Amino acid sequence: MGLETLSPSRAGDFKHCPQLFKFRAIDRLPEPTTVHQARGTTAHLALQRLFDLPAEQRNPEVLYDLFRQAWAELRTGDEFEGLFESVEDERAWGIESLEILANYFSIEDPTSFDPIDRELDMLEDMDGITIRGILDRMEETPDGRLVITDYKTGKAPPERYAIPAFFALKIYALLVRRRTGKTPDALKLMYLNGPTVYEIPVSDAQLDAMDRQLRALWTAIDRAIDRDIFPTRVGRLCDWCSFQEICPAFAETPATEAVGVA
């Protein structure tokens, strides 16, 4: 059984750790939902709906109401049911979420533009490989630049560590070029908890390199599936991995030793 489709997030998983890719994409093991994931999902939905409204209605109070409405819809679903131990915990999470969301208006003025696309489901046949993902937002700036934007509700990494975070956005830029024939001019990561914005320019040479990297990843994943060999790559991010207890690296190596490996 070979690979049928690959998403930017799963491509990132394999690049980071093939064993993590196996847990998520092949074994499809469940992962515990966190309050941070709940905040991110709810904030994305609220920000998506903000741009459904006329520009003059895109203000902080409306965004807060949209967040509350989105959470009222999401909180009863299987993914988030029972996430909070008490009403007080949920209320504190909600207050903190709105405080983070308030930072959005210090980053940009949502009344000044209309996105070209939001939550765009992209499925592209790339001559032998099929890539699928959902793009947060794409807009054209007043000076005519095409920008792909991704919202983040977590804290931004230090700038010197931010470049790897653009990996998925470069894939989306490649898909946009494939679909429209136009190369995006820039990629933007918008971290609301801070807030911090990182933006990098995009070139055809970068996207050509990403195309080659994606094909190499696809080949490596197919080979791993055929051989059922998914090596572990131990590093600092293992501290946040929900599969650590069943990871072969940690079964063979004392945890304190393993986490220290860069």
- 58 and 173 co-located in one domain: no
Residue 209 in tokens: 């390199």
- 186 and 79 co-located in one domain: no
Read out DSSP for 158-209? PGGG-GGGGHHHHHHHHHHHHHHS---SEEEEEEEETTEEEEEE--HHHHHH
Asked if residue 254 belongs to a domain, the reply is yes
Identify the weakest region by mean pLDDT among 124-133, 211-220, 252-261: 252-261
pLDDT > 60? residue 2 = yes
- 253 and 210 co-located in one domain: no
Asked if residue 93 belongs to a domain, the reply is yes
Mean pLDDT value across the chain: 92
Closest by CA to 123, choosing from 65, 59, 179, is 179
| Higher pLDDT, residue 121 or 262 | 121
Identify the weakest region by mean pLDDT among 27-36, 109-118, 154-163, 195-204: 154-163
- 120 and 204 co-located in one domain: yes
Its domain, for residue 39, covers 35-111
- 135 and 241 co-located in one domain: no
- 24 and 146 co-located in one domain: yes
| 157 sits in which H/E element | none
Long-range contacts of 257-261, Cβ-Cβ distance < 8 Å, separation of 24 or more: 258/234, 259/234, 261/234, 261/235
pLDDT > 70? residue 258 = no
Region 78-88 average pLDDT: 92
Asked if residue 239 belongs to a domain, the reply is yes
Upper half-sphere CA count for residue 121 (Cβ side, 13 Å): 0
Domain finish residue from 71, 88, 111: 111
pLDDT of residue 163: 84
- 60 and 100 co-located in one domain: yes
Region 150-172 average pLDDT: 90
Asked if residue 2 belongs to a domain, the reply is no
Identify the weakest region by mean pLDDT among 23-27, 41-45, 224-228, 239-243: 239-243
Asked if residue 128 belongs to a domain, the reply is yes
- 23 and 147 co-located in one domain: yes
- Identify the three-state secondary structure at position 13: helix
Asked if residue 15 belongs to a domain, the reply is yes
- 52 and 141 co-located in one domain: no
pLDDT of residue 254: 47
pLDDT of residue 239: 87
pLDDT of residue 256: 42
**What is the pLDDT confidence band of residue 1, given thresholds at 50, 70 and 90?**
low
Domain finish residue from 71, 93, 111: 111
Indicate the number of domains in the chain. 3
Q: Please give the share of the chain, as a percent, with pLDDT higher than 90.
A: 83
Per-residue pLDDT of 109-160, as tens digits, reads 999 999 999 999 999 999 999 999 999 999 998 889 999 999 999 999 888 8
Tell me how many helices (H) and strands (E) the chain has. 10, 5
Asked if residue 1 belongs to a domain, the reply is no
Positive or negative CA dihedral for 33, 171, 1, 14?
negative
Per-residue pLDDT of 86-101, as tens digits, reads 999 999 999 999 999 9
Q: Please give the share of the chain, as a percent, with pLDDT higher than 70.
A: 95
pLDDT > 80? residue 166 = yes
- 18 and 57 co-located in one domain: no
pLDDT > 50? residue 190 = yes
pLDDT of residue 260: 40
| Higher pLDDT, residue 251 or 257 | 251
